[in-house]
Amino acid sequence: MYQATVPPLIRALNNLVGILTKGAAYAEAKNIAPSVLLSTRLFPDMFPLTRQVQIAADVAKRGTARLAEVEPPSMTDDETTFEELIDRLKKTVEYLETFTPDQFDGAEDKTISLPVRGETMSFDGYRFLFGFVHPNVYFHVTTAYDILRHCGVEIGKADYLGVK
C-alpha cells in the first residue's frame, strides 16, 4: 500500500509544481497579472485554479495520513500567488516523504470513514486509496492543468506525466 500511495502522490504533486512554474513564467512573459490565471475557472460552478491546487494537496496529505492512521498537519487556504501554491505543494511532498512502508501494513483492510457533504462514507483502505484518494488528486491536478492550458500556457502531456 505504501508503494501505491506515497510515490504516485509525490509524483503527481511534483508534476503540478512544474505545471504551476510554467504558469507563473507564462504570466510574466505575457505581462498577465498572475491573479488572472489563479482565479480562472473552467466553468462558473467549478473552483478556480488556486482551490484546485489546494484540494489536490489536501486530499494527498489527508488520504495518506488516514491510511497510516496519523493526524495530518493543517494548512490554511490563504495562498494568493503561484509561489505560495508551489510552496504548499512542496510542503505536502515533504510531509509525504516522512512516511515509511511499515506504516501501511494492513492498510488495505482498515476501515476508513470520512465526512463528505454531510454524509459519512466508509471504505476499506484499498477502495479508499483507489476509489477516492487517487481519483480526487488526479481530478484536481488535471483540472489545474486544464485551466492553465486553456489560458494559453504551453504545457502538454509530458508536463502532466512529468517526463521530459
pLDDT in tens, the chain (164 residues): 999 999 999 999 999 999 999 999 999 999 999 999 999 999 999 999 999 999 999 999 999 999 999 999 999 999 999 999 999 999 999 999 999 999 999 999 999 999 888 999 999 999 999 999 999 999 999 999 999 999 999 999 999 999 97
The DSSP symbol for 110 reads: S
* DSSP run (H or E) holding 140: helix 134-150
pLDDT of residue 153: 98
pLDDT of residue 116: 83
Identify the sign of the CA torsion 94, 66, 131, 47: negative
Q: Are residues 38 and 80 in contact, defined by beta-carbon separation less than 8 angstroms?
A: yes
pLDDT of residue 131: 97
pLDDT of residue 140: 98
Joined grid coordinates for residue 38: 489563479
May I ask the CATH class of domain 2-102+111-161? mainly alpha
Taking the C-alpha atoms of residue 164 and residue 158, their distance in angstroms, rounded to an integer, is 6
pLDDT of residue 84: 98
Q: Give the contacts of 122 (CB within 8 A, at least 6 positions apart).
A: 111, 112, 113
3 state DSSP class of 41: coil
- Of 71, 67, 68, 59, the C-alpha closest to 13 is 59
pLDDT of residue 164: 73
Q: Are residues 104 and 5 in contact, defined by beta-carbon separation less than 8 angstroms?
A: yes
pLDDT of residue 100: 98
